[in-house]
């Protein structure tokens, strides 16, 4: 029987297809129980430290509410509370927190910080976001696609825009579960070579097709899912002018680009969205195709699955 107890959640690459399916099935079960009002307080007496170097809406609220719904308790540690790696070493902070709590979730700038936390902590560490990866978002996204399309294997997901942390996690998740993924981005903003290489290795086992293209039209062609993210992520504000000139209008998800996808495509965005930049309002507000609000909700259910399976 598959068990994730005590395991870190730093990247989807660390999980087998069977483990990812277990996470998704658990998330779906928790969502069903919540809608029915069925109790599922399986983390009574458990505490989660939430370390934030960056501000957040969805990550903070979904983890805090998730722990509460599971019967546990979450402690928010903002940038001024802990100053990760500044007031004391990351290792010392990790050792100390491990004596107080049952798990640590960290939303950080550098991926090396969350890796260092995991190296020294004696409790599970969850990557709530880093500059390289966003695995919690990726799991919630996979849950959303599964709900909306009824399957995962054999679908095509087109990611348009910056090959960023969300894109990287989708490359891992899709390639593990047999979802074809096409990334449409400018050459300078491709996902890292090592991420693509690992995704290609996964794809050899799952049968997925992995493409990194400069043409957004080719990436979106016959796609079941169109996904985009902001062109200027947090921490890259100095590059805003350069990025906007390069990404607009070519990589904007609008009705003209969406016409290349399948008629029943769904549109996804991890939020917050910069309307009229990476996506037009008519796309993100389209009741027929846009699933962004269901996608945002599914962060709660996916993260509850992570918490329950590694902290029990």
Q: Is-contact 44 69, C-beta < 8 A? A: no
- Which tokens belong to 186? 């400018």
At 253-291, the pLDDT tens digits run 999 999 999 999 999 999 999 999 999 999 999 999 999
Half-sphere exposure of 16 (CA within 13 A, CB side): 6
User: Is residue 297 very low, low, confident or very high in pLDDT (cuts 50, 70, 90)?
Assistant: very high
Alpha-carbon distance of 202 to 209, in angstroms, equals 10
By CB neighbour count within 10 A (0-12 exposed, 13-18 middle, 19+ buried), where does 256 fall?
A: exposed
Q: Is-contact 43 71, C-beta < 8 A? A: yes
Alpha-carbon distance of 191 to 178, in angstroms, equals 19
User: Is residue 85 very low, low, confident or very high in pLDDT (cuts 50, 70, 90)?
Assistant: confident
Alpha-carbon distance of 95 to 117, in angstroms, equals 9
Alpha-carbon distance of 277 to 254, in angstroms, equals 10
Alpha-carbon distance of 72 to 79, in angstroms, equals 23
At 6-30, the pLDDT tens digits run 999 999 999 999 999 999 999 999 9
Percent of the chain with pLDDT over 90: 93
Indicate if the pLDDT at residue 237 is higher than 90. Answer: no
Indicate if the pLDDT at residue 234 is higher than 90. Answer: no
CA 144, 131, 105 angle in degrees (round to 5)?
Answer: 65
DSSP 253: B
Q: Write the CA distances from 271 to 116, 293, 309, integer angstroms.
A: 27, 9, 26
pLDDT at residue 223 in the model: 99
Alpha-carbon distance of 284 to 269, in angstroms, equals 8
Q: Is-contact 47 72, C-beta < 8 A? A: yes
Indicate if the pLDDT at residue 2 is higher than 80. Answer: yes
Q: Write the CA distances from 240 to 7, 167, 168, 184, 246, integer angstroms.
A: 37, 19, 21, 19, 10
Q: How remote is the C-alpha of 214 from its chain's centroid?
A: 23
pLDDT at residue 167 in the model: 98
**Residue whose C-alpha is closest to residue 258's, from 291, 228, 285, 226:** 226
Under CATH, what is the fold of the domain 12-134+297-311?
A: Rossmann fold (3.40.50)
Segments making up each domain of the chain, as ranges: 12-134+297-311, 137-294
CA 75, 79, 81 angle in degrees (round to 5)?
Answer: 55
**Residue whose C-alpha is closest to residue 273's, from 283, 261, 264, 265:** 283
Helix residue spans in 76-133 (DSSP H):
79-82, 90-98, 111-120
pLDDT at residue 40 in the model: 96
Full-model pTM: 0.97
Under CATH, what is the fold of the domain 137-294?
A: Rossmann fold (3.40.50)
């Amino acid at each position: 029987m598959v068990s994730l107890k005590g395991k870190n959640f730093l990247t989807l690459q660390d999980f087998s297809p069977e483990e990812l399916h277990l996470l998704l099935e658990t998330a779906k079960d928790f969502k069903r129980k919540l809608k029915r009002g069925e109790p599922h307080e399986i983390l009574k007496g458990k505490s989660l430290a939430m370390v934030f170097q960056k501000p957040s809406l969805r990550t903070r609220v979904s983890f805090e509410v998730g722990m509460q719904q599971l019967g546990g308790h979450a402690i928010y540690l903002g940038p001024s509370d802990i100053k990760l790696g500044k007031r004391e070493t990351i290792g010392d902070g990790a050792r100390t927190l491990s004596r107080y709590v049952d798990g640590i979730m960290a939303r950080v700038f550098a991926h090396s910080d969350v890796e260092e936390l995991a190296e020294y902590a004696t409790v599970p560490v969850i990557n709530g976001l880093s500059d390289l990866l966003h695995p919690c978002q990726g799991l919630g996204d996979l849950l959303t696609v599964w709900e909306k399309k009824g399957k995962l294997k054999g679908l095509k997901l087109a990611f348009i825009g910056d090959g960023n942390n969300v894109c990287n996690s989708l490359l891992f998740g899709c390639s593990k579960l047999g979802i074809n993924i096409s990334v449409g981005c400018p050459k300078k903003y491709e996902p890292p070579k090592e991420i693509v290489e690992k995704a290609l290795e996964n794809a050899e086992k799952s049968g997925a097709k992995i493409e990194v293209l400069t043409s957004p039209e080719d990436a979106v062609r016959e796609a079941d899912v169109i996904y985009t993210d902001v062109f200027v992520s947090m921490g890259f504000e100095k590059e805003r002018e350069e990025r906007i000139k390069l990404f607009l209008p070519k990589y904007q998800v609008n009705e003209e680009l969406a016409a290349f996808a399948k008629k029943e495509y769904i549109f996804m965005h991890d939020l917050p969205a910069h309307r009229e930049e990476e996506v037009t309002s008519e796309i993100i507000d389209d009741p027929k195709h846009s699933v962004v609000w269901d996608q945002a909700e599914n962060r709660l259910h996916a993260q509850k699955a992570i918490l329950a399976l590694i902290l029990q």
